[in-house]
Each structure stands twice: as C-alpha cells, then as structure tokens.
Amino acid sequence: MENSSAKENNSVEFRTPSEFVTPTSVYQDPVQGLNLPLQVFFCLAIICVLLLAFLGNMVVCLMVYQKAAMRSAINILLASLAFADMMLAILNMPFALVTMVTTRWVFGEVLCHILAMFFWMFLLEGVAILLIISVDRFLIIVQKQDKLSPRRAKVLIAVSWSTSFCLSFPLAIGRPALYTPPRAPQCVFGYTVERGYHAYVMLIMLVFFFVPFLVMLYTFMGILNTLRHNALRIHSHPDSVCLSQASKLGLMSLQRPFQMNVDMSFKTRAFTTILILFSVFTACWAPFATYSLLSTFSRTFYYRQNFFEISTWLLWICYLKSALNPLIYYWRIKKFRDACLDLVPKYLKFLPELPGHTKRRIRPSAVYVCGEHHSVI
C-alpha cells in the first residue's frame, strides 16, 4: 500500500503479490482529500446513483425473467447489460463510497484485487453487449439480415461473459499489481515504468473503449447513411417504392390506388435508443479511459496533489451510466415501460405515462410496408 507522506528517497511503493516494488525517480506529494461540502455532495449523489442503478436494473432483469413475451433477442441482451450494471452497483460502488470518505482503503489487499477484477469484468461485459446490439442493428438496417435469435443471443452472452472474465482475471491474482488508495477512491492503475504493466493497460483500454467505440461509430454512420438514402429514395419515388414493397408482401390485391405516407419513426426508434445508449457510454467512459492511460504513463499527472478529487469525479461519472440506462429503457421502450408499470403497485406509480404506441416488428429486416393511410417500418 502506498504511504500518503513523502518518502525520504523520493520513491513510491506499490504492492505485488509477494513483495514491494520501488520505481526509481518518482516523487509523491501528500494526498489532498475532498473538502466537507464535496464529501456531502458526493455522498448524497452516490447514494442516489447506487439505489437507482440497483433497483432500476433489477426491475429490467425481473421483467425479462418473468415475462415470456419480453424474451426477444434484443431484450435478453439488454437484460445481460442490466445485470452487469446491477452487479457493478452492488459490488463496487459501496466500497468506493467508503474509500472516498475515509481516503483510505480499509478492506485489505486481497479484496482490492478481487473488486478490481469485478469492476473491469462488468465494464467489459457492458461494452460487449452494446457492441453486439450495434452490429445487430447494422445487419438488420444496412445488410437486410436478421440473424440474431434468442438462442444466438444467449450464446453471445456466454461468450462475452467468458471473454470479460478471462481479460480481467489477472487483476485478481495481482498481475499486474494495482495501486491502492489513498491516491484514488478505489484500486486503480497507477504510474509505473514496467512494460508488461503498460501492455496490459493498453490491452484493456483497447478492448474496453477504443476498439468498440470505433466499431460502433462505424455501424451507426452506416445506419444513418442507409436511413438517409432510403428517405431520399422514397421522397423521390414514393409510389414505385411502396408498390414494390406491397407486391413483395402480397398486397397487390388492393383494388384502388392509395396515398402513401412514409412513417420512419418505428424503424428508427430502436436504432435511436441504441444510439442514445452509445452516446451515454461514450460521455461517461471516455474521460475515465483517458484518465487511466494518463495515470499509467504520466508520472506528473498521477502524482498531482488534486489527483484524488479528479479521480473521484471521473469515477462517479462512470458509475452514473449504470443509473441512466434503466431510465433510457423506460423512456424509449414501450414494452419495458408497460411491464415496469405492471410490476409496480398502483400506489407506487409515480412515473409519468409517455405518449406514443409502438407496434411489434414481425420482420425487422423489411424496409418498408406501405398501407392506405400510413406505412410501418
């Protein structure tokens, strides 16, 4: 464990499983904790985030588990994401809250390594689920391929959990070793000159943030381009497009001509929901990924006097994502909203009813189905 006071030989110590390693030419300033107003603010905010992340994601998991109608492929993936967020709230947030207040890690070195493994495992799983959903939307909208069944979704979930566990398990055995507080509100990657340490941090950051971000950005740009192209094509030739789709669906028996108004809201709604989840993920986790890299490679950044305060802000912005996801589900997905209201007793129905009705897509890969007065996408 690091000592919070300056060393006479201007060096800093951090733990490996069996020995102390002392990097040379490293200085350490006294740790500056949070002042009382910030401690009160963080305590109240963190308790709200913790409760919302736990209760909201638990409701999502219960809905998918109890209601057979909710067990579609996309909902099973969202339930896995909710489970990862819920476990993150249970197993990591309380310990970080205590450490933030005391500026000391009082739970022991072994628990530090185990909780660090859980932290990164849940993060990697959440990113993997978002990546799977984004690729699925890309295949449906751009490639016109609807290949994700509930069975395949379960297989992908098992693979993603296994991969996340394998990537994070070395942290549980102290390879690489982690810096324990007081420099941060939980066990984090700290500054070192070891190349193996740098390689592991770079691997985690690539798998956790940078590669998924680029892949999801590519899929979303492809989807947006396809939707724009289809909208322009329909506005230019509305009759031919709708008649072509009607003939494919056996609707040419309609006897009189009809006026077709293209309604793209249904098709784009599911994509917009995933885009919102991706935007929240990027906003919450991009600062943390940058901070982790800087703290590992930059001695000046890691040993700044206000590093504890900076890491506290960034860490709880990250945790905020776990609390925002259930709110996004309730806001954007009508089936989740209806199922949530069914689970809550009438006297607890404080959540407002949102307007709008979403019809279930029988064929997600279909581009347009034109009706007499409106069309469903």
For residue 291, give both structure tokens.
Answer: 């901070």
Poorest-confidence range of 6-10, 107-111, 187-191, 199-203?
Answer: 6-10
For the chain, first and last CA: distance in Å?
58
Kindly report the CATH number assigned to the domain that includes residue 158: 1.20.1070.10
Name the band, by pLDDT with cuts 50, 70 and 90, for residue 336. confident
The pLDDT of residue 182:
65
Distance CA 328, CA 326 (A): 5
Query: Over the stretch 231-279, which tens digit does the pLDDT of each residue have?
Result: 777 666 555 545 455 444 444 444 444 333 333 455 556 778 888 888 8
**Has residue 372 been placed in a domain?**
no
Q: Distances in Å between the alpha carbon of 196 and those of 178, 193, 199?
A: 13, 9, 5
Distance CA 15, CA 266 (A): 54
**Has residue 244 been placed in a domain?**
no
Averaged pLDDT score across all residues of the chain: 74
**Has residue 370 been placed in a domain?**
no
What is the number of structural domains in the chain?
1
pLDDT at 158 over 90: yes
The pLDDT of residue 19:
35
Name the band, by pLDDT with cuts 50, 70 and 90, for residue 352. low
Specify the 3-state DSSP secondary structure of 104.
coil
The two beta strands, 20-21 and 375-376, are: unpaired
> What does the pLDDT average to over 345-361?
50
For residue 219, give both structure tokens.
Answer: 């899929």
> What does the pLDDT average to over 54-77?
86
**Has residue 4 been placed in a domain?**
no
Name the band, by pLDDT with cuts 50, 70 and 90, for residue 371. very low
For residue 341, give both structure tokens.
Answer: 């209201």
**Has residue 373 been placed in a domain?**
no
The pLDDT of residue 316:
85
Query: Over the stretch 92-104, which tens digit does the pLDDT of each residue have?
Result: 898 888 888 887 7
Q: Could you tell me the residue range of the domain that residue 165 belongs to?
A: 14-238+268-364
**Has residue 47 been placed in a domain?**
yes
The pLDDT of residue 277:
87
Query: Over the stretch 195-222, which tens digit does the pLDDT of each residue have?
Result: 888 889 899 989 888 899 999 999 989 8
**Has residue 8 been placed in a domain?**
no
> Nearest to residue 375, comparing CAs of 268, 264, 269, 272?
264
**Has residue 28 been placed in a domain?**
yes
> What does the pLDDT average to over 52-65?
89
For residue 11, give the H/E element and its range: none
Q: Which residue has the tokens 């989807």?
A: 223
The two beta strands, 20-21 and 369-370, are: unpaired
| C-alpha R_g of the chain | 25
